[in-house]
Chains A and B, each alone.
Chain A
Amino acid sequence: MIATIAFRELRSMFLSPLAWAVLAVTQIILSYYFFVYVYEFMELQSTLATLHNAPGATDLIARPTLETASMILLMVTPLLSMRLISEELRSGTIALLMSSPVSMTQIVLGKFAGILMFMLAFVLIISLMPLSLLGGTELDLGKLAAGLVSLVLLLASFASVGLYISSLTSNPIVAAVSSLGLILFFWIIGGSFGQEYSSFTHLSLSSHFGSMLRGLVDTADLGFFMLFIATFLVLTIRQLDSRRLQG
């Protein structure tokens, strides 16, 4: 049942020009950045040769590429997630789901799985850029894998925020703007304060993402992402439930 809802969601995304536009624009910008990183790496070659234990292509090309991808997707995810539930509320199609023998949890998980599949496709395409370097140089595949996993988790977190906000309003644009605000908040919250407010750093998506991107897969970071996603999914389920109560 979850899969049924998820695949319909995915289909719908690809049936609208929005998903294609988003994919194309992000790819173009990202490949530009990728090219810049490769170019810089070539420039640095002579310096790197003199260094002992010099950083390789993974650190100088793959990592910044993924970092840039995360920034671009931070801005783009709200556009993809805005319609998830708000469109159903606006057009009344939510009535179909509500009167079918599916639970709220299945609806929400289905929607989430739908956008997650889209995100996975996204990450897959992005990963082709650093992987293409394998033709000419060596990559630290473990590090790259850690980076890709962290990117997936990060995008899933973005999507869960977007999903929740989308359930609050029947206006997709309002959902997009609010999602962007909330995602950005969770992104910047870490760096804004000094040591005394380090608890904020723990809540920050960017700090957890950053440490995994460096190749440090910590269960604390994994746990944080899981908890973050679960929280917003539960909030979404509760929101839909209370919508039934309040009408």
Chain B
Amino acid sequence: MSSQPLISVNNLVRYYGDHCAVNDISFELAAGDILGFLGPNGAGKSTTMQMLSGNLAPTRGQIMINGVDLLDEPGAAKAALGYLPETPPLYKEMTVDEYLRYCAKLRRIKKSDIDDAMALARQRCGLEQVGRRLIANLSKGFQQRVGIAQAIVHSPEVIILDEPTVGLDPIQIREIRDLVTELGKSHGIILSTHILPEVETVCNRVQIINEGSLVYASGMEGLLEHQATGKYIISLGRPPSMDEMRAASIIDHVEQQDDEHFLVRINTTADKLAALAVDNDWGLCKLFPYEHSLEHIFVNLTLSDEKSA
């Protein structure tokens, strides 16, 4: 993997009049990354995406795409970019094939390669059956897929997807997620959303933005490490006394949360704790790691900021 990041954003600032929508954001995207961009509505997600895709000019800061400055050489930089805005940019009076052909030409694909590129994009997005249909007559899910096909038809290094699963039914959402995971193997992807499980399932890095500033950025592994604190929640049908639990050698600390649930810190692996509970006939119902889940982090960061503001 090359050391050069696909996207590198430095001190990006964007004002709308006096209102600061994006405040001094810096981050990088490497090849093979699927970066989840999280934030409450109005936090500056879409503004950032629009700046990355060249739809908005930043007030200050620098955007490098595949090593090319987006502001100095927009043509070369945009060639490496596929963008799906919140509303897919579809010409509804065209058929899917006509539209994709137009997009392919706009993205400067060689004439001889256009058919192959279109076939691949259609196949990846499951559009084989609807190539000759008018976009206006397609369901929302299919329109969304056409939007994604448009963003990947030229196999760009960087794909920017702004809320790609909004308004889709659960099956379509799953299909889109699978597609994103698939694409992530060969491209760098930025995905904005406010649906947390989406980020947890498809992304390998996550970044939370609130009121224009990045408040959290980490790899998903970091998030998992964060969770591997040796703390578990254990749910017991016939709980022993607290003293009895504290007496066990593998348990360092225990807190009762309610009648059945205990927060336990152990100095070994979870299977030992399970064995302990079974051996002593505590009526083990559930055992799961106590995690700082993404939701936890998200709510903490965004709400505490609101309080302090």
Contact = CB atoms under 8 A, between A and B. Distances in A.
Interface of A: 1, 4-5, 8, 11-12, 15-16, 91-103, 244-245, 247
B91 A99 contact: no
Nearest to B98: A11
B90 A98 contact: no
Contact of B107 (A8, A92, A101, A245): A101
Interface stretch (B77-85, B237-245, B301-309): B77-85
A16 B93 CA distance: 8
A240 to B, nearest CB: 11
Contact of B78 (A5, A91, A92, A101): A101
Nearest to A107: B106
A193 to B, nearest CB: 41
A96 B150 contact: yes
Given A96-B103, A101-B76, A244 B89 contact: no
B93 A12 contact: yes
Nearest to B56: A247
A119 to B, nearest CB: 21
A96 B89 contact: yes
Contacts, number: 79
7 contacts: A16-B93, A91-B89, A92-B87, A93-B89, A99-B55, A102-B75, A247-B50
B105 interface: yes
Nearest to A97: B106
Given A92-B85, A93-B89, A100 B56 contact: no
A87 to B, nearest CB: 9
Interface in B55-85: 55-57, 74-79, 81-83, 85
A91 B77 CA distance: 25
B5 interface: no
A125 B76 CA distance: 42
B216 interface: no
A158 B68 CA distance: 39
B109 to A, nearest CB: 11
Contacts of B50: 95, 247
B91 to A, nearest CB: 6
Interface in B88-145: 88-94, 98, 102-103, 105-108
B207 interface: no
Contacts of A102: 75, 106
B90 A93 contact: yes
A11 B97 CA distance: 14
Contacts of B91: 8, 12, 93
B53 interface: yes
B134 to A, nearest CB: 9
B54 interface: yes
Contacts of A16: 93
Contacts of B57: 244-245
A42 to B, nearest CB: 46
B188 to A, nearest CB: 15
Given A100-B107, A247-B16, A4 B102 contact: yes
A103 B57 CA distance: 14
Contacts of A101: 74-79, 106-108
Given A91-B92, A96-B89, A99-B54, 8 more contacts: A1-B108, A4-B102, A8-B102, A91-B87, A96-B106, A101-B77, A102-B106, A244-B54
Contacts of A91: 87, 89-90, 92
Contacts of A4: 102, 105-106
A4 B91 CA distance: 14
A95 B85 contact: yes
B132 to A, nearest CB: 15
Given A95-B53, A247-B16, A100 B106 contact: yes
Residue with the highest number of chain A CB atoms closer than 10 Å, among B53, B55, B57, B81 = B55
Contact of A99 (B16, B53, B108): B53
B133 to A, nearest CB: 14
Contacts of A94: 55, 89
| Complex A-B, nearest 8 residue pairs according to Cβ-Cβ distance, in ascending order | A96-B89, A99-B83, A100-B106, A93-B89, A99-B53, A101-B78, A101-B79, A95-B85
B16 A98 contact: no
Given A92-B87, A103-B74, A98 B55 contact: yes
Nearest to B107: A100
A96 B54 CA distance: 10
Contacts of B14: 247
A98 to B, nearest CB: 5
